[in-house]
């Protein structure tokens, strides 16, 4: 078939033009990705960063502990690689039998695991235990990572209010009121049975005592009614150390828009969790850092950047594609930068909010 010379030339020119355009766009993307990574490195070196929930302590203490979720997502060298300065390391206790014997045994387990873990931390170079905003900032300044001791589940407190002082003296600075089942303190979000319709009478005393001592009241895992009661009773701001956004994913562990607004209104924090079940219905391999950023975006729209942060839940179900472990933390920063978050917004999100929160509750 005959194609005229001019037509052939025209096709050739268009192809060359398309090729050049494609090359330059991909080069531009490549360059901007590199620049984003560089900007994230710079950001993390400069600003204090903290993750308000992992379940790594038990993993360190009992590496062969049977568990269905991914393990070994946090080590101190990986924290450095990921540009994470600090984390709340929670001693997790599943809800057991609610008898005097059960409570005593839970108290002994919590105490033993906590002491063992803190001994381990003290044996590690470049890491320190932190109890306050000042500790956290000093450690950052002096090049140390920080471990903030926490308890996930008030079950080991049983019905003994004096144990709050006991755990405070052992270093605990945050307690998740309950886990998936109701306990002596309150109703849990994953328990179908509403036992108290929120906080128990003992739970009211627990919140007041935590306020007095300066222990962060963690409302992740609490039922809708429990959160309402806590917000009414607490004289200090409260924190959801690892929760998602209910309006994006209808999971009972996630927070409704009005709950996010109410926590923020009281000066508290909503720390977005990274477990895929809290984020999306998509298959495992399709849930990525973008999904985490979607939850962050939504929570920020409701509460403002001054009330949002991150609580990975690593070694307890946290992590998605692109955030497989703590060494990948900068990928969150990169995604948020891509979405236009400023240095100020990122500094609030990554650490300044939490430092302010600790100052408020420990005063
Ligand atoms: Zn949890």
Note the pLDDT tens digit of each residue in 184-212. Answer: 999 999 999 999 999 999 999 999 999 99
CB-count burial class (<10 Å; 0-12, 13-18, 19+) for 290: middle
Least confident among 57-71, 107-121, 282-296: 57-71
Confidence of residue 62 (pLDDT cuts 50, 70, 90): confident
Ligand 1 centre and the CA of 312: distance in Å? 10
Ligand 1 centre and the CA of 180: distance in Å? 8
Ligand 1 centre and the CA of 163: distance in Å? 21
State the Cα–Cα distance between residues 2 and 4, nearest whole angstrom: 6
pLDDT at 28 over 60: no
pLDDT at 3 over 60: no
State the Cα–Cα distance between residues 269 and 303, nearest whole angstrom: 9
- pLDDT for res 363: 81
Ligand 1 centre and the CA of 65: distance in Å? 17
pLDDT at 29 over 70: no
Ligand 1 centre and the CA of 107: distance in Å? 18
Ligand 1 centre and the CA of 123: distance in Å? 27
Ligand 1 centre and the CA of 318: distance in Å? 10
CB-count burial class (<10 Å; 0-12, 13-18, 19+) for 24: exposed
The pairing of strands 174-176 and 239-243 is unpaired
Structure tokens, 181: 């089942």
State the Cα–Cα distance between residues 363 and 350, nearest whole angstrom: 22
- pLDDT for res 5: 52
Share of the chain above pLDDT 70, in %: 90
State the Cα–Cα distance between residues 197 and 178, nearest whole angstrom: 14
Ligand 1 centre and the CA of 218: distance in Å? 10
- pLDDT for res 23: 44
Query: 94 and 55 in contact (C-beta within 8 Å)?
Result: no
Q: Give the domains, in start order, of the chain with CATH numbers.
A: 47-362 (3.20.20.140)
From 181, 143, 183, 180, select the one nearest 163 (Cα to Cα): 183
State the Cα–Cα distance between residues 270 and 48, nearest whole angstrom: 18
State the Cα–Cα distance between residues 324 and 188, nearest whole angstrom: 28
- Per-residue pLDDT, averaged over 133-140, amounts to 98
Q: What is the helix (H) or strand (E) element at residue 128, kind and residue range?
A: strand 127-129
Ligand 1 centre and the CA of 169: distance in Å? 23
Ligand 1 centre and the CA of 254: distance in Å? 11
Q: What is the DSSP letter of 125?
A: T
Residues 6 or more apart from 137 whose CB is under 8 A from it? 48, 355
Ligand 1 centre and the CA of 323: distance in Å? 18
Q: What is the helix (H) or strand (E) element at residue 309, kind and residue range?
A: strand 308-310
Ligand 1 centre and the CA of 256: distance in Å? 17
Count of CB atoms situated within 10 Å of the CB of 64: 7
Ligand 1 centre and the CA of 19: distance in Å? 51
Q: Where are the alpha helices (DSSP H) in 245-329?
A: 257-265, 276-279, 289-303
pLDDT at 1 over 50: no
Ligand 1 centre and the CA of 330: distance in Å? 23
Ligand 1 centre and the CA of 227: distance in Å? 15
Ligand 1 centre and the CA of 59: distance in Å? 15
Ligand 1 centre and the CA of 152: distance in Å? 7
């Amino acid at each position: 078939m005959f194609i005229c010379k001019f037509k052939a030339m025209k096709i050739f020119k268009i192809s060359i033009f398309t090729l050049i355009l494609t090359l330059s766009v991909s080069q531009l993307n490549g360059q901007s990705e590199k620049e984003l990574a560089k900007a994230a490195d710079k950001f993390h070196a400069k600003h204090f960063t903290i993750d308000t929930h992992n379940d790594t302590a038990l993993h360190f203490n009992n590496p062969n502990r049977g568990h269905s979720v991914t393990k070994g997502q946090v080590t101190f060298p990986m924290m450095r690689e990921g540009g994470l300065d600090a984390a709340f390391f929670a001693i997790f206790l599943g809800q057991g039998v609610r008898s005097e014997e059960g409570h005593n045994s839970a108290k002994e387990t919590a105490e033993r695991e906590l002491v063992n873990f803190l001994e381990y931390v003290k044996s590690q170079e470049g890491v320190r235990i932190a109890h306050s905003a000042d500790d956290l900032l000093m450690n950052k300044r002096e090049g140390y990572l920080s471990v903030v001791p926490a308890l996930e589940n008030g079950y080991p407190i049983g019905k003994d209010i004096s144990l709050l002082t006991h755990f405070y003296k052992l270093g605990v600075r945050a307690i998740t009121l309950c886990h998936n089942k109701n306990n002596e303190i309150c109703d849990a979000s994953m328990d179908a049975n509403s036992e108290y319709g929120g906080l128990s009478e003992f739970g009211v005393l627990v919140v007041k005592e935590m306020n007095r001592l300066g222990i962060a009241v963690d409302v992740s895992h609490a039922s809708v009614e429990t959160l309402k009661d806590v917000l009414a009773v607490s004289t200090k701001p409260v924190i959801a150390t690892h929760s998602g956004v209910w309006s994006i994913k209808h999971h009972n562990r996630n927070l409704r828009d009005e709950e996010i607004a109410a926590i923020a209104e009281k000066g508290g924090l909503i720390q977005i969790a990274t477990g895929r079940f809290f984020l999306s219905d998509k298959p495992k391999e399709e849930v990525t850092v973008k999904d985490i950023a979607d939850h962050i975006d939504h929570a920020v729209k409701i509460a403002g950047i001054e009330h949002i942060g991150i609580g990975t839940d690593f070694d307890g179900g946290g992590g998605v594609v692109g955030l497989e472990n703590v060494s990948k933390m900068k990928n969150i920063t990169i995604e948020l930068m891509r979405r236009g978050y400023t240095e100020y917004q990122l500094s609030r999100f990554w650490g300044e909010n939490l430092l302010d929160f600790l100052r408020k509750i420990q005063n």
